[in-house]
């Protein structure tokens, strides 16, 4: 049997790079994408790994990457939308430009890439789309108003797409990591707007942020191994899992507190309302 192929976005660092290597080690063909090939590191040296540029904010870049993937491996069995960017600031501190930029990467970007790949999966009658979201798409966090709203949008998009794609044989899931400070994600967080406003506002934002950060540390955010997230992505690609999949002690705790583990049971109950009989 020919190996299956996965296309991942955001493979220059962190979870994306770990997930690419995890699939490769399991014998998959891997399309590892990133905005700049200057960041490919050792990925291109691995067997069955094809590194190609992809900017989720650029439709032409997406089409070129998908076409190159098909030319190289013949199919895309799994799409992992991992590319994303964080942002911290009070809503009052934030500009329209920053909000739109955050949505362009975290929401519109994953929608663009998914829309490009879905016709390929639909024609084959099978496939899997995995959207890497965040604990911030499960629980609203102070000083991350815009980021949380984008990740909530990504979670809602995932669930709606799940219904659209289920009758077509395409599985759709989200993986929602908690805090993993042992990745480069934090260096990719835009927090320059936390200095906007008067001193009272700036100090208030700082106070809220420090409180949440200390709580994340207590829940293991400093020591959590990001390989857990890569392993969960692979599990979602290869086994039956729920639509929504939290990863990390903090994310699992929050999901438990709000009753989210029962979400899959709820979805199964409303299926006859949302989908016609097969």
pLDDT tens digits, 136-175? 998 899 999 999 999 999 999 999 999 999 999 999 999 9
Q: Is the pLDDT of residue 217 over 80?
A: no
Q: Which residue has the higher pLDDT, 212 or 32?
A: 32
Q: Is the pLDDT of residue 223 over 80?
A: no
- Structural contact between residues 31 and 75, judged by C-beta atoms closer than 8 angstroms: no
Q: Give 66's pLDDT tier (boundaries 50, 70, 90).
A: very high
Q: Which residue has the higher pLDDT, 250 or 113?
A: 113
Q: Is the pLDDT of residue 235 over 70?
A: yes
Average pLDDT over residues 261-266: 79
Query: 103, 147, 162, 234: which one is catalytic?
Result: 147
Name residue 32's beta-bridge partners: 8, 51
Q: Is the pLDDT of residue 49 over 60?
A: yes
Q: Is the pLDDT of residue 198 over 80?
A: yes
Closest CA to 179 of 134, 146, 230: 134
Q: Give 221's pLDDT tier (boundaries 50, 70, 90).
A: very low
- Please state, rounded to an integer, the average pLDDT across all residues of the chain: 91
pLDDT tens-digit map of 97-147 = 999 999 999 999 999 999 999 999 999 999 999 999 999 998 899 999 999
Q: Is the pLDDT of residue 181 over 50?
A: yes
Name all domains of the chain by residue range, CATH numbers in brackets.
5-274 (3.40.50.720)
pLDDT tens-digit map of 4-46 = 999 999 999 999 999 999 999 999 999 999 999 988 989 989 9
Closest CA to 87 of 115, 107, 64: 107
Q: Based on the residue annotation, tell me whether 103 is a catalytic residue of this protein.
A: no
- Structural contact between residues 70 and 76, judged by C-beta atoms closer than 8 angstroms: yes
Average pLDDT over residues 179-183: 72
Average pLDDT over residues 234-263: 85
pTM: 0.90
28 contact partners, CB below 8 Å, separation of at least 6:
3, 4, 5, 6, 48
């Amino acid at each position: 049997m020919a190996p299956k192929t996965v296309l991942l976005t955001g493979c220059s660092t962190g979870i994306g790079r770990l997930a690419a290597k995890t699939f490769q080690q399991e014998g998959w063909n891997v399309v590892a994408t990133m905005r700049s090939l200057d960041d490919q590191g050792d990925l291109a040296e691995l067997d069955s790994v094809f590194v190609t540029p992809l900017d989720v904010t650029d439709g032409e870049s997406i089409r070129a990457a998908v076409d190159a993937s098909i030319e190289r491996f013949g199919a895309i069995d799994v799409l992992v939308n991992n590319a994303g960017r964080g942002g911290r600031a009070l809503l009052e501190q934030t500009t329209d430009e920053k909000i739109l930029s955050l949505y362009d990467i975290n929401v519109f970007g994953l929608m663009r890439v998914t829309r490009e790949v879905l016709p390929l999966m639909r024609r084959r009658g099978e496939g899997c789309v995995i959207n890497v979201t965040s604990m911030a798409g499960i629980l609203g966090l102070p000083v991350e108003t815009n980021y949380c709203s984008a990740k909530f949008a990504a979670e809602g998009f995932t669930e709606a797409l799940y219904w659209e794609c289920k009758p077509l044989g395409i599985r759709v899931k989200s993986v929602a990591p908690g805090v993993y400070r042992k990745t480069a994600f934090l260096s990719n967080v835009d927090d320059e707007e936390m200095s906007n406003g008067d001193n009272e506002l700036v100090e208030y934002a700082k106070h809220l942020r420090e409180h949440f950060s200390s709580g994340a540390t207590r829940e293991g955010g400093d020591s959590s191994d990001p390989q857990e997230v890569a392993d969960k992505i692979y599990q979602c690609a290869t086994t039956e899992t729920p639509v929504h999949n939290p990863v990390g002690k903090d994310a699992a705790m929050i999901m438990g507190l709000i009753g989210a583990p029962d979400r899959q049971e709820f979805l199964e109950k409303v299926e006859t309302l949302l989908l016609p009989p097969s």
